[in-house]
Chains A and B, each alone.
Chain A
Amino acid sequence: MLVVVADTRRVSSGIEKYFANLYNTNILLFAVWAVVLTALWGVILGVLMDFIMSRTGLDLKSRKIIEH
């Protein structure tokens, strides 16, 4: 079986090193972090973009459904 390990020797930042080590030592916790952080980053970006889009002056709360 092929085992993949993260190369921590080339990682300098503390957070990156923590996650690279976690990938090598506790994949379950790494998977939980991956899901939580992906969802969190999605929400943060969504809220941020929402704020920016609200400044454009477009009506972003209603639309007409026209099929043709």
Chain B
Amino acid sequence: MDASWLYMYMPIAGVNIFWPGLVLIGFSVGVIGGFFGMGGAWMVTPGLNILGFPMAFAIGTDIAHIAGKSMISTMRHSKFGNVDYKLGFVMLVGTMVGIECGAQIIMYLERLGMVGSVVRWVYVGFLMLIAFMVFYDYFKAVQKRKAGQVDGEKGAEGITWYKTFHKIKIPPMVHFKTAGFTCSAWLPITVSFVTGVLAGFLGIGGGLLRMPALVYLIGCPTHIAVGTDLFEVMISGLYGAFTYTLKGRIELIAVFVMLTGAAIGAQIGTVATKYAKGYGIRVAFGCAVLACMVSIILKQFNYSASAAAVILSAIGIICIYIMGIMFKGAANELREKRIREDAAAVV
């Protein structure tokens, strides 16, 4: 049987690519990105590489796809009221300046000839820190909950560093209506600058760092952190797409094919946040971070195939978990709606 129709020629990268694979990658990352509020470059790049893209093209194509996918997810999150645009715009200033500073540090390290391993180990260090923070926060919150301690509207919380940061009253003080708190504008600017520096330094979109920073340092409810972070990822992704295209490292046809899958996945991931509890999102996020960390360690020791296997398995498991939340939640909602309508018809 002739299977040539399943392959698409990519004129810039000069390779024939199995296009259903592109749709599947787009779909999976759409689900995961919409649920966690991140771009997911760490998942897409190895996937594209396995499909046959040279690494340089995989990164550029990935960034452009992330920008488009985040746009679709942001539109959906916005309707739920999960995007604090004011916070997003304030943070954008710090993010952009930070990314440029991070890129300059990388160029300095490149001149010293020590960029590769330094970047990877710094990345591993931060991922370890994030995973520790997420699980520590969860266990502390569970303990407090069992002891009957409650922290305001949000219920029992493990890490409450943001409360200390909110006490800093350096003007201008800004109220973020959607996120529901008032703080010095310098807090989100500083946090986004630091996460931007790290993103530029590590060569990633930054969602992996910004989402927990929004929750633990700025004090956003988890759902608002997810939506607002996606807004940030969308803008920085478009900027990244432009600069990577100028370097000639993008395959536009692959971007569009992946976006088609991502459009469906993003709906599932985003709507799933409606049925998920904040701490459920945080713990699943922690597991994704752990998978990412393990894959980078494996790569550092030249186990590239095992690294890719870890990432692809993690994508599969997390995707199924999120789809389970979405379909179960949606089925319950429709059932309850039908019962309400039947009851109203009887009255």
Contacts and interface: CB of A to CB of B under 8 A. Distances in A.
A57 interface: yes
Interface string B76-100: 1001111000000000000000000
Contacts of B264: 49
A68 interface: yes
Count class of interface residues, chain A: 35 or more
B12 interface: yes
Interface in B1-50: 9, 11-12, 14
B76 A60 contact: yes
B271 A58 contact: yes
A49 B238 contact: no
B154 interface: yes
Contacts, number: 139
Given A16-B253, A30-B245, A34-B64, A60 B11 contact: no
B84 to A, nearest CB: 13
Contact of B157 (A41, A50, A67): A67
Interface in B242-290: 242, 245-246, 248-250, 252-253, 255-256, 259-260, 262-264, 266-267, 271, 273-274, 277-279
Interface in A53-68: 53, 56-63, 65-68
9 contacts: A7-B14, A19-B252, A32-B242, A35-B238, A38-B255, A42-B68, A42-B69, A59-B333, A68-B156
A68 B278 contact: yes
B278 A66 contact: yes
B299 interface: no
B221 A67 contact: yes
B141 interface: yes
Contacts of B71: 39, 42-43, 46
A60 B250 contact: no
A28 B249 CA distance: 13
B198 interface: no
Nearest to A17: B11
Interface in A1-34: 4, 6-8, 10-11, 16, 19-20, 23, 27-28, 30-32, 34
A68 B248 contact: no
A66 B222 CA distance: 9
Given A38-B238, A39-B71, A67 B278 contact: yes
Contacts of B263: 45-46, 48-49
A32 to B, nearest CB: 8
A20 B224 CA distance: 41
A34 B238 CA distance: 9
A56 B224 CA distance: 24
A11 B241 CA distance: 23
B139 to A, nearest CB: 13
B75 interface: yes
Nearest to B278: A67
B337 interface: yes
A65 B68 CA distance: 26
A68 B267 contact: no
Nearest to A21: B11
A68 B141 contact: yes
Contacts of B241: 34-35, 38
B125 interface: no
A39 B11 contact: no
Contacts of B76: 46, 49-50, 53, 60
A49 B242 contact: no
- Residue from A11, A31, A38, A60 whose CB has the most chain B CB atoms within 10 Å: A38
B80 A63 contact: yes
B145 A68 contact: yes
